[in-house]
Structure 1
Amino acid sequence: MKKSILILAILGVGLSGFAQKTHKVMGWKITKDIPMNELKINLPLAIFGSYPEISYERILNTDISVGAALGVSLDKERYPYQFMFTPHFRWFFGGNKKSMEKAGAGFFIEANGATYSRVMETYSNLGGTNVNENQKSIFGAGLGLALGWKYLSKNNWVGEIYGGAGRNFIKSDYADSEAYPRVGISIGKRF
């Protein structure tokens, strides 16, 4: 557990240290320098699920971004996924020019991929009591979609809410391992 947290901290410091701080965004006549990188944490999973999920996102244009999220389980009893790595591509769109003045903000559609490890349990019913027979860790990988909304403050604080799911393309003996969730309420900073 300590190694996972240390690796996440080193990754975050490395990304912020080597990232380009500002970039001129062309299009919609936005001429000021704006930060193009974001680092966020998924709050409900970290607080209630003992599953901190850290994500990094790079704004490529006013309406396109790419990023990745990494989550690691600290308590396998509360959240069945041991780890999940989710790279994603987001397309932001709005109704008018005014809503698009903030690059990488507003309503978005996300295409994502995921690789994950999940704990699956099988049960038997013996005399009216469910007995845990086997606990197995399975690996999954797939593609999915999500919808969401991102808010950007004047001080470059970011808040977002998103929801979606993906389909596992690796064959498994467990029927409920055919999909993975992509949900969250994240908060972070654009730099």
Structure 2
Amino acid sequence: MKKITLLLTVILISISAFSQQRTRSFMGWHLAKDAPAKLNEVKLNLGTTIFGLYPELSYERIINEDFGVGASAGIGLGSDYIMNFAFTPYARWYFGGNAANLQKYGAGFFIEANGSLFSQRIQKTYFTSTDGYASVTSNSEDAFGAGLGLGIGWKYLSKNNWVGEFLLGVGRDFINEGAYPRGGITIGKRF
């Protein structure tokens, strides 16, 4: 029994002494030993807030050096913007950038897959013909939609953990046979 205990102790010590990289686990994902302690981000979409009267806030959790998940929520304040509200969860795969960004977690060029639940304003046009006269009427209706989409973008992370990103994408609305926009210029803070 003493020999088995001694053998197991030696094996455990040698495994820990000669391991290449120690990891810590988070929900089944393994983060490297040098993973930053700050892996959460809160961002505001300045593009839609300023130009569309549609403030959109986002939260993202960086899972490992090249993958993050998050969600965005926005609400339309003016009648000119096409979206009334939207809730959009997303997943991002980071895989590029310059030499500095390649050393940072969750930064650089990314591809995004998203799903969205939203309400948007849809313009409908009706053609009618009575007694040889044709008339065209149009009105806008609010419609609830849900769909899936893709986007591409670039995220920059400063030394002080400020985040800036550009995003451009589109999604397919499966309820109304249309599409929804996904894009903006965001700024935020990693904590």
Normalised-by-shorter TM-score class: 0.7 to 0.9
Match of residue 183 from structure 2: 183
How far apart, CA to CA, are the structure 2 residues paired with 1:73 and 1:57? 22
Equivalent residues of 2:168, 2:182 under 8 A apart: yes
Secondary structure of the 2:49 match is helix
CA offset at residue 130 of structure 1? 7.2
Match of residue 13 from structure 2: none
CA offset at residue 55 of structure 1? 0.4
Residue identity over aligned pairs, in percent, reads 53
Aligned counterpart for 2:88 among listed residues 63, 86, 89 = 86
Q: Which has the larger radius of gyration?
A: 2
TM-score after normalising by structure 1:
0.74
Q: How does 1:90-109 map to 2 (within 5 A)?
A: 90-94=92-96, 99-109=101-111
Which deviations, in whole Å up to 9, do the C-alpha atoms of 1:44-71 show, x marking residues without a partner? 1101110000000000101110000001
Task: Give the aligned length.
Answer: 159
How far apart, CA to CA, are the structure 2 residues paired with 1:34 and 1:139? 39
Match of residue 58 from structure 1: 61
Residues 110, 42 of structure 1: alpha-carbon distance in 2 compared, 3 angstrom cutoff: same
Amino acid at match of 2:55: P
Match of residue 167 from structure 2: 162
Unaligned runs of 5+ in 1: 1-22
Match of residue 135 from structure 1: 140
Equivalent residues of 2:101, 2:156 under 8 A apart: no
How far apart, CA to CA, are the structure 1 residues paired with 2:167 and 2:51? 17
CA offset at residue 178 of structure 1? 1.0
Match of residue 71 from structure 1: 74
Higher fraction of strand: 2
How far apart, CA to CA, are the structure 2 residues paired with 1:69 and 1:122? 28
Equivalent residues of 2:83, 2:119 under 8 A apart: yes
Residues 188, 121 of structure 1: alpha-carbon distance in 2 compared, 3 angstrom cutoff: same
Secondary structure of the 1:68 match is strand
Unaligned runs of 5+ in 2: 1-25
Q: CA RMSD in A?
A: 2.6
Match of residue 47 from structure 2: 44
How far apart, CA to CA, are the structure 2 residues paired with 1:117 and 1:40? 22
Equivalent residues of 2:68, 2:91 under 8 A apart: yes
Match of residue 3 from structure 2: none
